[in-house]
Amino acid sequence: MNGSEEIAIGSPTESPTKGSNDMSEQLPSPSRLNVHQPFSTFPAGALIDEFFSHSEAEGEFHKESMRRIFDLLLEFKIWSESRPAQEIDRFGDQMDEQLKAIQAKEEEQGTFSSSSASSFSITGVSILGARQNIPQVEPTHPIVVAAHCPRNAT
């Protein structure tokens, strides 16, 4: 190619004349590009500056979001720790009523036994422990296991 050659850029809708495979017979394109014509410079500075401004703004947004989430977590923790005493008392009263109702039904039906009485007392102790902020006994604790096992078991 010499310095004055041009490359034709055609649109996808343009097609060569029917039956012809010769490029010289192709319809001329309205837009032509000179290969030796200088290209415009890439505006790297503007894009880089825009990127840095966006990344700084994103960093500030991220910091602000994390601070707000942390504040929300702290507020929720404070709120949740300030209310359990009243709710535990209310829950304990409801549990006591339910346990007494179950015990009354079992006595009425003649199915009330000492093993169910011990389970009621253990449950009552755990509720009282929760009310007084005493650590509760785990169900796998030897005292709890012994209370639910028959006396003659090994």
Top pLDDT among 146 and 102 is at: 102
Domain assignment of residue 29, yes or no:
no
Residue 80 CA to residue 82 CA, distance in Å, equals 6
Domain assignment of residue 97, yes or no:
yes
Domain assignment of residue 21, yes or no:
no
Domain assignment of residue 26, yes or no:
no
Q: What is the mean pLDDT of the chain?
A: 67
In this structure, are residues 145 and 152 in contact, taking their beta carbons and an 8 Å threshold? Answer: no
Domain assignment of residue 17, yes or no:
no
The pLDDT of residue 22: 54
The pLDDT of residue 40: 81
Q: Which amino acid is at 17?
A: T
Domain residues for 140?
A: 84-148
The predicted-structure confidence for 35-88, as pLDDT tens digits, reads as follows 777 778 888 888 888 888 888 888 888 888 888 988 888 888 887 777 777 776
Which residues on adjacent β-strands are paired with residue 34? 6
- Tell whether 135 and 105 lie within a shared domain: yes
- Tell whether 100 and 141 lie within a shared domain: yes
Domain assignment of residue 99, yes or no:
yes
Give the number of domains in the chain.
Answer: 2
Q: Which pLDDT band, with edges at 50, 70 and 90, does 92 fall under?
A: confident
Domain assignment of residue 5, yes or no:
no
- Tell whether 94 and 64 lie within a shared domain: no
- Tell whether 120 and 89 lie within a shared domain: yes
Residue 137 CA to residue 144 CA, distance in Å, equals 8
Q: Which pLDDT band, with edges at 50, 70 and 90, does 122 fall under?
A: very low
- Tell whether 75 and 92 lie within a shared domain: no
Kindly report whether the global pTM for this prediction surpasses the value 0.75.
no
